[in-house]
Chain A
Amino acid sequence: MDDLVQVTDRGLFVPAANVYIDPWQPVERAVITHAHSDHARAGHRLYLAHPVTGALLQTRLGSSISLQTLPYGKKLRLGSVQVSFHPAGHVPGSAQVRLEFRGRVCVVSGDYKRHSDGLSAPFEPVRCHMFLTESTFGLPVFRWEPAETLGQRLCLWVTEQLAQGRHVCLTGYSLGKAQRLIRILNEAWIVPFVHPAIEIINQTLKRCGIRPGNYSALSEYKKSLGPAVILLPPAAVDRLPAGISGPFVRAACSGWMAVRGMKRRQNLDKGFALSDHADWPGLLKTMEESEAERVWVTHGFAEPLARYMQERGRQAEALRTAWTETPEEAA
């Protein structure tokens, strides 16, 4: 595709720096945009990441990984390429990777969102010649409701369910979504119980100085506490965790919930379209602001988004990568 970045069967490769970005096969040197499992895989010899992502990688992959960290905005020379990280606003520690080589700049977005979540460093547009963007929600049917009204609707619904004596299971990705939910619930004075997978992430974030909000561990739940709000990773959706019983309702919190069929398909009682990705207008705005001459579109609705950009006179191309999130786990 270009001499600066290339897609290989191991991942996105930057030959002049001899590094891969979010590779999906084990490599020597990997630059990691954020700690979601489809981007940060095990088995690389050396990891380069933002300090928060680095801490999360050690939690997820073990403290024995070889890790080098780089804060936002600081430049690092790799081979003949200047590498720097810039906030992507997706989850804590998430970064866009800026690559500068012989006066040309390429930005790899990783996953990103444009709305601030109060938790992650807000997205910063970076001007570049070439921009590689995600497109998880790259269809015009995806337009997010403002986070405030969505949060209010969510709390109202949760409160109603609790009042009727039902446990409420909310599902969302352990990193990012779970912490946003804790904060939203805290606004309504609700303290949720969190699954151990979320608890581990929370502990790591606390060590990095990021406060996930007020929550309790699932193990602290006692029957005498009555109906509870339980945060779960999306994998464990159709049953209550061991030790809790009684009537319950389930709601998923993900951008996919903008579509009713997604809610029906997962047999959910409720869905909230709370997303950590850019919506359609957000994607268009970002491509515009990058001022890039060439745009590569990757995982999600890459083909339609690339074609739409082409029809508007932009040089755009869909790229096949292995970064995929299933709707069940997507943020």
Chain B
Amino acid sequence: MKQFAELCEALDSTTSTGERLSLLTAYFREASPVDARCALALFSGWRPPRLLKSTELRALAAELSGIPLWLVEESYHFVGDLGETLALLMADEATPSPSSGAPEDSLHGLLLHMNSLRQASHEEIRSFVLRQWKSLDTTGRLIFNKLIAGSFRLGVASRLAITAFAQAFGLSEETVAHRVAGDWNPLADDPFSAGESEPDLALKPFPFCLAYSVENTLASLGTPSDFLLEYKWDGIRCQIVRREGRMALWSRGGESLDKAFPELVQAASFLPSDTILDGEILLVRQGRVMPFTELQKRIGRKDPSPTLLKKYPVMFLAFDLLMHKGEDIRSQPLRHRRALLENLIVPDGDLLRLNEGFNVRSWEEAAQLRQAAPDRGAEGIMIKHLDSPYVSGRKRHIWWKWKVDPYTVDAVLLYAQAGHGRRAGLYTDFTFALWHEGRLVPFAKAYSGLTDEEMAEVNRFIRHNTLEKFGPVRSVKPQLVFELAFESLQRSNRHKSGVAVRFPRILRWRRDKQPHEADSLQTLLNLLAKVHPE
């Protein structure tokens, strides 16, 4: 536990990706395999069960520190993070004793113990927490508090943890990424054990292949006839997994979409066994692709009623085949995968449909196709090399995206400020951030571009997820992702982000994206290089 707490502290005090990677790698190497597995799970979003409600924890802290409960609450309200508040309030109380050799001294032991207390009496939980508070040092207490209060978060992208884990154990990143995709519990399953064909794992998606934005001239990509062009749709990226009589739908964020789209699960049952498709879920009415905002009305609605299914009809547009007759064909060239896909999925299906592909002889034709995209309800085009394998994550020269509006990025909401006048009391002035070396760097302020309902929902989120508050400004949990557009951008040596953008505005709320999927500062710098080549 001490080791893990020290890792967290060290990660928090460096901004360099390289340093963070080597810290993580060193930790994974030195820690016991079970500890390493638990840490990897924590970094990729898994959380242990919450033993105490936040109110119970506060009561316990009040009791132990002798500070009245209302003052603990007041302090928490100001600090914003319960784990940190408790660590600050307890500063004087605990006298860390040297390691006792108890099983819960290890991260795995601690998490296991927490897990075993899930059904325990309040009294048992209480004495466990008190024991930990007394034995941990300040850093350890902070991490422990965050774990029990459910506020554990670190600016480590799961991607970085996966890379480090792969390096530490001599595995390929693909293997690690695949095995930790979807839901898994490091206390229950070991995805790295030898016999890896449990049914659970079989239904997991492959890591998604992602595209880079076109940065330079199209001519620099190569010969047009080497590429397959497709419309770039603005829906929910999804893999359909069909295995041994069972089906699963997965989003890019590793969430199961089975409950939200039962008609697609039903349709997938007609696929041959042992097939994995990659594609996009779209809302289509009378043959027209509807804007993403319409599709949003289906997201988050589990077990939708027949009426809702009818009102918001969706389809899955398949554009890639990753597993065919039980064989992982991701390393085969796209032209081959596409040929197999065309044999499997028809271009005029109702629920599963083949995404149209285009071959062009010149880049002018590609540009015309892109110009036509908005009329088709698409946001641009995809340019995929016909000889490319299906890779996990983003790699250059494989897939490119070329959007109609060149200046857009997906950014994370970090601060909110209350508006004036008519909108007083409503948070309407938002600051957005992009990733840079594992941290979120604010780069633009944008005002409303949201519907009134979205605005109300974002405001609710802000009020419930405020980290700290000062005057009219609140900082919020970095959780919501928005697509921002702007008119122009220029380099600025005097801004922390290095770039100044002009007239940023909110295009829409990307509910389908996790914060770690937001763009990086590098994306912005790449756009800049395109606009003002140096």
Contacts and interface: CB of A to CB of B under 8 A. Distances in A.
Interface of A: 139-141, 143, 238-240, 242, 245, 250, 258-262, 264-265, 267, 269-270, 301, 304, 307-308, 311, 326-327
Given A259-B84, A265-B468, A265-B475, A140 B65 contact: yes
B475 A304 contact: no
B89 interface: yes
A140 B69 CA distance: 12
A157 to B, nearest CB: 9
Given A140-B71, A141-B89, A261 B495 contact: no
Interface stretch (B75-83, B207-215, B276-284): B75-83
B149 to A, nearest CB: 14
Nearest to B467: A261
Contact of B494 (A140, A239, A260, A270): A239
Contacts of A242: 494
A267 B88 contact: no
A262 B88 CA distance: 14
A239 B496 contact: yes
Contacts of A239: 494-496
Given A262-B468, A304-B70, A326-B470, 8 more contacts: A139-B74, A143-B88, A239-B496, A242-B494, A245-B494, A258-B88, A265-B470, A267-B496
B477 to A, nearest CB: 10
Q: Which 5 A-B pairs have the closest CB atoms?
A: A239-B494, A141-B88, A261-B468, A265-B475, A261-B467
Contacts of B71: 139-140, 304, 307-308
Interface in B145-175: none
B534 interface: no
A238 B495 contact: yes
Contacts of B74: 139, 301, 304
B467 A140 contact: no
A243 to B, nearest CB: 11
A143 B470 contact: no
Nearest to A305: B71
Interface of B: 13, 15, 65, 67-68, 70-71, 74-75, 78-81, 84-85, 88-89, 91-92, 415, 441-442, 467-468, 470-471, 473, 475, 493-496
Nearest to A260: B84
A259 B68 contact: no
A301 B65 CA distance: 20
B79 A259 contact: yes
Contacts of B468: 259, 261-262, 265
Nearest to A143: B91
A264 B475 contact: yes
Nearest to B494: A239
Nearest to B67: A140
Q: Which of the listed residues A265, A307, A311 has the most CB atoms from chain B within 10 Å of its own CB?
A: A265
B493 A245 contact: yes
Nearest to A312: B68
A123 to B, nearest CB: 22
Contacts, number: 73
28 contacts: A141-B75, A141-B79, A141-B85, A238-B495, A239-B496, A240-B494, A245-B493, A245-B494, A258-B88, A259-B80, A259-B88, A260-B84, A261-B79, A261-B80, A261-B475, A262-B468, A264-B475, A265-B415, A265-B470, A265-B473, A267-B441, A307-B70, A307-B71, A308-B68, A308-B71, A326-B470, A326-B471, A327-B470
A269 B493 contact: no
B14 to A, nearest CB: 10
Nearest to B80: A261
A267 B470 CA distance: 15
Contact of A140 (B13, B81, B89, B475): B89
Nearest to B84: A260
A311 B15 CA distance: 45
Contacts of A250: 496
Contacts of B473: 265
A236 B15 CA distance: 22
A258 B80 CA distance: 13
A245 B71 CA distance: 46
Contacts of A267: 441-442, 496
A250 B494 CA distance: 13
Nearest to B492: A239
A239 B81 CA distance: 29
Contacts of B13: 270
B75 A139 contact: yes
B91 A264 contact: no
Contacts of A265: 415, 467-468, 470, 473, 475
B361 to A, nearest CB: 47
B470 A311 contact: no
A239 B496 CA distance: 6
Contacts of A139: 71, 74-75, 78
Q: Which of the listed residues A240, A264, A307 has the most CB atoms from chain B within 10 Å of its own CB?
A: A264
A315 B473 CA distance: 34
Contacts of B493: 240, 245
Nearest to B66: A140
Contacts of B67: 140
B140 to A, nearest CB: 16
A304 B473 CA distance: 21
Contact of B92 (A143, A270, A308, A311): A143
B187 to A, nearest CB: 29
A198 B200 CA distance: 64
Nearest to A246: B493
Given A261-B475, A327-B470, A269 B15 contact: yes
A304 B494 CA distance: 41
A251 to B, nearest CB: 12
Contacts of B75: 139-141
Given A245-B493, A259-B84, A264-B467, A311 B79 contact: no
B81 A260 contact: yes
A261 B415 contact: no
Contacts of A327: 470
Nearest to B439: A267
B72 to A, nearest CB: 8
Contacts of B92: 143
A160 to B, nearest CB: 11
Nearest to B468: A261
A304 B92 CA distance: 21
B15 to A, nearest CB: 6
B524 to A, nearest CB: 16
A225 to B, nearest CB: 18
Contacts of A307: 70-71
Contacts of B496: 238-239, 250, 267
B180 to A, nearest CB: 27
A308 B75 CA distance: 13
Nearest to B72: A140
Contacts of B80: 259, 261
B467 to A, nearest CB: 5
Contacts of B79: 141, 259, 261
A50 to B, nearest CB: 30
Nearest to B15: A269
Contacts of A301: 74, 78
Nearest to A139: B75
A173 B473 CA distance: 21
Contacts of A240: 493-494
Contacts of B65: 140
Nearest to B92: A143
A279 B65 CA distance: 17
